[in-house]
Amino acid sequence: MSLKNLLPGRLGFGTAPLGNMFRAIPDDEARATVEAAWDHGIRYYDTAPFYGAGLAEERLGQVLAARPRDSYVLSTKVGRVVLDEHETDVPDFGEKGGLFEHGNPNKVLHEWTAEATERSIEGSLKRLGADRLDIVWVHDIAQDFYGDAWIQKFEEARTGAFRVLSRLRDEGVIKAWGLGVNKTEPIELTLALDEPRPDGFLLAGRYTLLDHEHALTRLLPMAQEQGVEMVVGGPYSSGVLAGGTHFEYQQAPPAIIERVGRLKALAGKHGVSIKAAALQFSLAHPVSAAVIPGATRPSRITEDTAALDETIPAAFWTELRAAGLVSPAAPAPRQRLSPRPPATP
């Protein structure tokens, strides 16, 4: 199924921060943020067991349980099974070490076999309090977590998760599946296979104002040719484009800080908010179906929805290209983007 036909509007909500990413977030703050997303008409919600060992799914489910299930689209991920036992060792998240140290204390099994995929889905449905999922992403089978061993993880997923999700889609249990990763190579490898065929992919951090060259030249032409669409995660590059200090989930290095400063200077010159530039850039490519910034405060939701309504002059994009801050091959937004359909009760 086409993601653009499935997703209700081009702005969704990414829940990784609700898993206590970087900091411990009070329950009432997390709940208020999800409710703000709903009140602003957002009807696509993405989550994962990995986000705080199930914490993000639990928090999202507490709010959505009071809403009609047919009124929103829900996606989660497979590859991590949250166990009932508590973790006694420091989890190894590769480059993402310490990312969810404030999450639930549960031990998490990293596995992409058929059996683990079914267990993962069952656990997610329970934590979400939902009777079904619309989209399921195969999570993090990439170099940033597993280094050179990522190919082994990919093969495990190819013979396990890929086949289970293809069957569930064919049976109508889910509507779509794909990969949810922070690197382009696993998606490129999947698109090169004869089977199975994904419906789309969630690519985090690789099609942003700060990082888009590789995806633009390698992955996106393949996806466009095959009619496979993309949800853009991490449009603010872990927060550094939205006033934060993180890039790639770590403290931003001086070179990135300098580049962000140049972007903001040009945005200020043209009266453009950096959030508007970031979101609209990520959505401008024909393959882009939606963008899913994360948030932990209701005010951030207000900013995100306003950013998609903001008019950005063409001269801004022209000057970004001239300054070497945006690839000349990257499509520029040409008109205002509707962030959401009319709100429903």
Structure tokens at 227: 């009619």
Q: What is the DSSP letter of 54?
A: T
Which amino acid, one-letter code, is at 305?
T
Q: Which of 54, 105, 43, 100 is nearest to 77 (CA)?
A: 54
Would you say 77 and 48 are in contact if contact means Cβ atoms under 8 Å apart? yes
Phi–psi pair at 277, nearest 5 degrees: -60, -45
Secondary structure class of 9 (helix, strand, coil): coil
Q: What is the dihedral of CA 112, 4, 267, 38, to 10 degrees?
A: -80
Distant-in-sequence, close-in-space partners of 226: CB < 8 Å, separation ≥ 6: 191
Q: Is 238 left (phi over 0), alpha (psi -120 to 50) or beta?
A: left
Query: How far is CA 138 from each of CA 102, 163, 266, 287, rounded to the nearest angstrom?
Result: 24, 11, 38, 19
Active site residue 72: no
In angstroms, the CA 201 to CA 213 distance is 18
Quick one: 8 exposed, middle or buried, by C-beta within 10 A (0-12, 13-18, 19+)?
Answer: middle
In angstroms, the CA 315 to CA 1 distance is 36
Strand partners, 176: 135
Structure tokens at 66: 């009071």
Given the residues 44, 45, 51, 146, select the one marked as catalytic.
Answer: 51
Please give the helix or strand (H or E) that residue 254 lies within, else none.
helix 254-269
Q: Taking the alpha carbons of 189, 218, 211, 178 in that order, is the dihedral positive or negative?
A: negative
Structure tokens at 124: 């997610």
Residues catalogued as catalytic: 51
